[in-house]
Amino acid sequence: MHTLSHQQIAQRLDLLTEVSVALGKSPDTDTLLDRILKVAKAMTHADGGTLYRPCAERTTLCFDISINDSLSIYQGGSSGNPIAIAAVPLFYEDGSPNLHSVAAYSANSGQSVNIEDVYAADAFNFSGMLSFDAAYGYHSQSFLTVPMNDHEGGLVGVLQLINAVDPESGRICAFSPTDQRFIEALAAQAAVAITNQQLVLQLEELLESLVNLINIGIDEKSPYTGRHCQFVPELTMMLAEAVHNAVSGPMAEFRMTDKDRKELWMAGLLHDCGKITTPVHVVDKATKMEAIFDRIHMIDTRFEVLMRDCQIRALTEKCAAPHDAGAIDARLHTELAALRDDREFLRGANVGGEGMPAADQERVRQIARYRWTGVDGVERDFLDADETTNLTIKFGTLTDVERKIINNHIVVTIRMLESLPWPKHLANVPEYAGGHHERMDGKGYPRGLDKSQMSIQARIMAIADIFEALTARDRPYKKGKMLTESLHILGKFALNGHIDPDLFDIFIRSKIYLVFARKNMDARQIDEIDDHLIPGYTP
C-alpha cells in the first residue's frame, strides 16, 4: 500500500472536479462509461478495471467494459470490441442474493470491497478470476470493488479495479483507504451522471410516446389519416437530408445537427395533432351529402315519391279518360325518364371533383325547386338550402363552413404545441409544425406568413404535406393521383408562390419523390417521369 502525498491528493481532487464537470456534459453513455473507468484506473494506478451494469432483466450483472494494460485488453464500451464474458448472477435460483461473487456482493449490499490479496482471501468465490489468470498467464492480486447507486439507491453499475501499482517501485500493492474514498466519490458522481442521462432518455421516450398516443387517437378517430401522420414526417426528413447534403445553390449553407433532426422529426409527428378536435364527419366526408351517413339516399327516396306520384296521376287520368291511355303512358314514360336522369345527375354531383361547372350548379338549383309532399302532408322544395349548398360545392366535398372547420386544425395544432414547455432543443417544434399550410406569397393560413417569415424546416414540411396528400390513395373523397400528375401540380405550386421553388428543385433533382413513391405508393400510381415536362423545374 503506497502513501499519497498532499500534492498527489490535490491532483486527484482536481482530476475528480474535472471529471465531475465532464460527466455532466457527456451526451453519449458509452463515452461516459469509458471516461469513468479510465479515470478510476489512472487515479489509483490500477493495471486493470471492469465496469459492470445491470442486464436488461436486472437479475444479472453484465460486463460493460474491460481494460487490462498488461494484457493489452480493451473490450466493450466505445472500443468496438465485444465482451465474451458470462454475466454474473445477482440472485440464486431460490431468489436469495448472491454474496459469493465480489461484484454481486457489492451490488446487493451497496458496500465497497477492498481486498489486498485475492489468493489469500476466502470470503468470496474467485474461481472466475483464477480461470482468467490461468488462461492469460496473469496474476490478480489486489481488488477494489465499488457499487454505483442512483439517488433512490437503485443499482446503476459496479466499478472494479485490479492490481494497484506503486508508481515508485512498480510493484503490485493494495488499494489504500484514500484510493477507496476517491473511487467511491467518483462512483457517486458517475452514478448521478448516468442516472441523469437515463432520465433524459426516459423523458424523451415518454414525450415521443405521448406524441404517438395523440396520433393513435387521430388514427382511431379517422383511419384515413393514419398514413398521413406516418408519411409526412418520413418524407420531411428525406427532403431535409437532401437539403442538408446540398453543396451548391441557395440551400448550400443549410445544415442540421442530430438535435435539429430530432426537433424536425418531432414536429413532423405533431404537424396535424389539432385534428384530434376536428369532427369525424368533416375529416372523413367522402361525398358532398355525407354527414353521419350519405344523405343522397334520402334524395333517392324523394325521387321514388315523385315517380310514384306520376304513376298514380297517370292511372287516375286513364280511369277518367280510357281513350287517352296511349298519350298518358307516353307522357308518363317521358316524366319518369326525366326524373331518373335527374336522379343520376345528382348522384354524380354528389361525388367531389376538381371543379363543378357553373351549368351543373345551376341544374342542381333547378332540381331543388321541384315540389314534393312529405310524410307530414306538407308540400315543400325538393332540396332544402343545406342540401343545395352541398350539392353545388365547386371543389371537393366540403362546404365553406366545413373547410373552415378543417382549416382550424392548424390553429388548434399551434395552440396545443405553444402551450407546452418545450426544452431548448425542441423549442422550434410549434413553428415547424404550424407552418405547413403557409405559402411563400403570404396567402396561406393561419397566419399569412411569407417565405421570409418561415424557417426552411417549415417550408420543407409544406412540400411533404402537399405531396403526400396528392398521392394518398386511402382518402374517402378521392383517389391517389398518378406520380406525373402530382409532380405537375406541385410544380405549378412552385411557380405560383405556393411552395418554395428552391426546395422543390432539390425535391426533384434528388429524386426524393421517386424513393418515397417506390416505398409507399401503389405501384399502379408510379408512371414514367420526364423531368423536362415538370413545371418549375429545369433539369
- The string of DSSP codes covering 153-207 is S-EEEEEEEEEEE-TTT--EEPPPHHHHHHHHHHHHHHHHHHHHHHHHHHHHHHH
Q: How far apart are CA 279 and CA 284, in angstroms?
A: 9
SS3 145: strand
Residues 274 and 301 in one domain: no
Which of these ranges, 90-99, 158-167, 173-182, 210-219, has the smallest mean pLDDT? 210-219
Structure-model confidence comparison of residues 318 and 10, the more confident one: 318
pLDDT tops 90 at residue 275: no
**Mean pLDDT of the 446-470 span:** 95
**Mean pLDDT of the 344-362 span:** 91
82 prior amide bond cis, ω within 30 = no
Confidence label for 500 from pLDDT (cuts 50, 70 and 90): very high
Residues 261 and 393 in one domain: no
Residues 367 and 391: beta-carbon distance below 8 Å: no
Quote the distance between the C-alpha of residue 303 and its chain's center. Answer: 50
Using the 3D structure, point to which of 368, 397, 426 is the last residue of a domain: 397
Sequential DSSP letters for 229-275: HHHHHHHHHHHHHHHHT--SSTTTT----HHHHHHHHHHHHHTTGGG
pLDDT tops 60 at residue 83: yes
Quote the distance between the C-alpha of residue 455 and its chain's center. Answer: 20
Query: Structurally, how many domains does the chain consist of?
Result: 3
Residue 405's CB is within 10 A of a number of other CB atoms, namely 17
**Mean pLDDT of the 11-40 span:** 69
Residues 291 and 283: beta-carbon distance below 8 Å: no
**Mean pLDDT of the 251-258 span:** 95
In a domain, 131, yes or no: yes
pLDDT tops 70 at residue 241: yes
In a domain, 162, yes or no: yes
Residues 519 and 424 in one domain: yes
In a domain, 339, yes or no: yes
pLDDT of residue 18: 64
For residue 188, give the nearest of 153, 144, 161 by alpha carbon: 153
Maximum mean pLDDT: which of 7-11, 77-81, 182-186, 231-235: 231-235
Longest dimension (CA), the chain: 136
Residues 36 and 118 in one domain: yes
Q: What is the CATH number of the domain that holds 50?
A: 3.30.450.40
Residues 420 and 481 in one domain: yes
Run of H or E residues at 64: strand 60-68
Q: Rounded to whole angstroms, what are the CA distances from 68 to 84, 98, 139, 343, 344? A: 15, 26, 12, 87, 85
Run of H or E residues at 362: helix 358-368
Percentage of residues in the chain having pLDDT higher than 90: 58
- DSSP classification of residue 312: H
Q: Domain range spanning residue 268?
A: 222-283+401-533
In a domain, 289, yes or no: no
In a domain, 290, yes or no: no
Structure-model confidence comparison of residues 496 and 280, the more confident one: 496
In a domain, 510, yes or no: yes
Using the 3D structure, point to which of 397, 412, 440 is the last residue of a domain: 397
> How far from each other are the two terminal CA atoms of the chain, in whole angstroms?
76
Alpha helices, DSSP H, located in 45-142: 102-109, 127-136
Where residue 80 falls (left for φ over 0; alpha for ψ -120 to 50; beta otherwise) is: left
Residues 227 and 137 in one domain: no
Residues 172 and 263 in one domain: no
Residues 329 and 227 in one domain: no
In a domain, 264, yes or no: yes
**Mean pLDDT of the 527-533 span:** 92
CB burial class (10 A; 0-12, 13-18, 19+) of residue 317?
middle
Residues 28 and 71 in one domain: yes
Residues 129 and 49 in one domain: yes
Residues 374 and 325 in one domain: yes
**What HEC string does 103-128 produce?**
HHHHHHHCCCEEECCCCCCCCCCCHH
**What HEC string does 367-411 produce?**
HHCCEEECCCCCEEECCCHHHHHHHCCCCECCCHHHHHHHHHHHH
Residues 381 and 507 in one domain: no
**Mean pLDDT of the 260-265 span:** 95
- DSSP classification of residue 420: S
Handedness of CA 435, 439, 442, 448 (dihedral sign): negative
pLDDT tops 60 at residue 2: no
Using the 3D structure, point to which of 397, 416, 433 is the last residue of a domain: 397
b/e sequence 65-74, b meaning 16+ C-beta within 10 Å: bbbbeeeeeb
pLDDT for 103-132, tens place per residue?
999 999 999 999 999 988 888 888 888 888
Q: What is the CATH number of the domain that holds 422?
A: 1.10.3210.10
0.75 cut: is pTM over it? no
Q: How far apart are CA 462 and CA 432, in angstroms?
A: 9
pLDDT for 127-155, tens place per residue?
888 888 998 999 999 999 999 998 788 89
In a domain, 207, yes or no: no
